[in-house]
Amino acid sequence: MNRPAPDEAAAPRRRRGRPPGSGTEQGAAARERIIRAAVELFSEKGFHGTGVGDIGARAGIQRGALYYHIRSKEELLWEVLRRYTEEALEGAESIAGTDADAVEKLRLLIRHHVRIIADHRDEVAIQQRDADALTGERAVELQALRDRVQAVWQGILDEGYRTGRFRTADHVITNGLLGMVNLVYLWYRPGQGDTPETIAEKFLSVLSGGLLTGPEAERRDAM
Q: Around Cβ 84, how many Cβ atoms within 10 Å?
A: 20
Taking the C-alpha atoms of residue 85 and residue 159, their distance in angstroms, rounded to an integer, is 23
Q: Which whole number is the average pLDDT over 19-36?
A: 75
pLDDT band, residue 59 (cuts 50/70/90)? very high
Higher pLDDT, 5 or 55: 55
Kindly tell me if the per-residue pLDDT of 7 is higher than 60: no
Decide: 21 and 27 in contact? Cβ < 8 Å: yes
* Mean residue pLDDT across the chain: 85
Virtual CA dihedral for 6, 9, 11, 14, nearest 10 degrees? 150
Give dist(CA 201, CA 219) in Å, integer: 16
In eight-state DSSP terms, residue 184 is G
- Locate the domains of the chain by residue range: 19-70, 73-223
| Cα angle, residue 161 at apex, residues 212 and 178 outer, rounded to 5° | 70
Section 166-188 average pLDDT: 92
Residue 215: the pLDDT is 59
Q: pLDDT-derived band of residue 206, with 50, 70 and 90 as boundaries? A: confident
Residue 208 has pLDDT above 60, yes or no: yes
Maximum average pLDDT range among 94-98, 103-107, 176-180, 205-209: 94-98
3-state secondary structure of 166: strand
Does pLDDT of 2 surpass 50? no
> 3-state SS string over 29-70?
HHHHHHHHHHHHHHHHHCCCCCCHHHHHHHHCCCHHHHCCCC
Rounded to an integer, the average pLDDT of 206-222 is: 62
Angle at 120 between CA 86 and CA 173, to 5 degrees: 70
Superfamily of domain 19-70: Homeodomain-like (1.10.10.60)
Residue 112's closest CA among 88, 81, 86? Answer: 88
Q: How would residue 214 be classed by pLDDT, with cut points 50, 70 and 90?
A: low
Decide if pLDDT at 3 tops 70.
no
Q: What is the pLDDT of residue 83?
A: 96
pLDDT more than 90, % of the chain: 65
Task: Tell me the CATH class for 73-223.
Answer: mainly alpha
Q: Reply yes or no on whether the pLDDT at 146 is more than 70.
A: yes
Q: Tell me the pLDDT tens digit for each residue of 61-87.
A: 987 788 888 889 999 999 999 999 999
Beta strands in the chain (DSSP E): none
Percent of the chain with pLDDT over 70: 83
Our CA dihedral for 89, 90, 94, 96, rounded to 10 degrees, sits at: 10
For the segment 26-54, the average pLDDT, to the nearest whole number, is: 93
